[in-house]
Structure 1
Amino acid sequence: MVEIAAYRLNLLRAGYLLLIIGLGLTVWPSILDPAKSWELTRGVVVAMLGALSLLALIGLRHPLRMLPLLFWEVTWKTIWLLRMALPLWAGHRLDAATTENAVECLMVILIVAVIPWDFVLQVYVKGSGDRSRRHASQ
């Protein structure tokens, strides 16, 4: 197993904490407001972001085990920025709401910065995968 320095683990915990605080301030007030209602797709987004913030709590205790949660965060924001924001920006068609969302999504740079990429390379890319069958002796 690749050894991770304590300060790197704490930086990773700070990334989870950023998710918890950011989503706690923006998403959870809507979730907890019984008078709040959303159209279908917005409701799905709010529920998924709420789940992300709750799972990030586990990341405070188990930062390496919860890395796939950060991979998901980086991936969806990167896809949104490349597929939605970048073409609008290139065509000079960004409105205020899309610009605000793009700025929020660009904060993913902080998550990218705290991920221990050497660990990711060794464990997720170069490491052996989980077996797919039981051994005959079992």
Structure 2
Amino acid sequence: MTTNLTPPMWRQHVLRVLFLLILVGLGPDHWVEVFAPGKVPSPISGVTISFYAAFSFLCLLGIRHPLKFIPLLLIQLVYKSAWIIGTYLPAKSAGLLDENYESWFWSMAPGIVIDLFIIPWGYVYREYLKDFFVWKKAAV
């Protein structure tokens, strides 16, 4: 008996909606900054703007091919989690939290929760993790 290992279509549509929300949320502001910056950004701001512009463009492709672009959601989950662990929590324990940190926290935390629920973890396991340490000999 064979089973279809692809997530159900409703799940793929949910992924498409998430890619669309990311595209709409990130794309306009960051692409405007790429093509018509108000001022010359600092190098690190330029990297951030460029990253989010590219990320939003790839989310456009994710709308068309949601399963192929799951790694984008994994990147999002990891970088948002890393920001909370490496930036927010140390600032909180040092008593340095201000409105800026709190604002970023409330931008990052919901994204983590949404990614955890929307990413089809069974598919991720089968496609990316199951044979991760299995080395196959290359065909000659």
Task: Select the structure with the greater relative contact order (CA < 8 A; seq sep ≥ 6).
Answer: 1
TM-score category (smaller protein): 0.7 to 0.9
Alignment partners' CA distance in 1, 2:89 and 2:104: 12
TM-score (norm 2): 0.85
Q: Which of 84, 88, 100 is residue 85 of structure 1 equivalent to? A: 88
Structure 1, unpaired ranges of 5+: none
CA-CA distance at 1:25 after TM superposition: 4.4
DSSP-derived class of the 2:38 partner: coil
Indicate whether 1:125 and 2:129 are aligned.
yes
- Which residue in the other structure is 1:8 paired with? 11
Alignment partners' CA distance in 2, 1:34 and 1:3: 42
- Which residue in the other structure is 1:18 paired with? 21
RMSD (Å), alpha carbons: 2.1
DSSP-derived class of the 2:48 partner: helix
Indicate whether 1:61 and 2:91 are aligned.
no
Could you say if the C-alpha distance between residues 4 and 128 of structure 1 is closer, same or farther in structure 2, counting changes exceeding 3 Å? same
Alignment partners' CA distance in 2, 1:130 and 1:71: 21
- Which residue in the other structure is 1:135 paired with? 139
TM-score (norm 1): 0.86
Tell me the alpha carbon deviations over residues 65-101 of structure 1, each in whole angstroms, 9 at most, x when there is no partner: 0111111111111111100001212333212112211
DSSP-derived class of the 1:107 partner: helix
Alignment partners' CA distance in 2, 1:134 and 1:127: 15
Indicate whether 1:98 and 2:112 are aligned.
no
Could you say if the C-alpha distance between residues 57 and 129 of structure 1 is closer, same or farther in structure 2, counting changes exceeding 3 Å? farther
Q: How many residues align?
A: 136
CA-CA distance at 1:128 after TM superposition: 6.5
CA-CA distance at 1:127 after TM superposition: 4.1
Which amino acid counterpart does residue 65 of structure 2 have in structure 1?
H
Conserved in 1, the CA contact under 8 Å of 2:27 and 2:57?
no
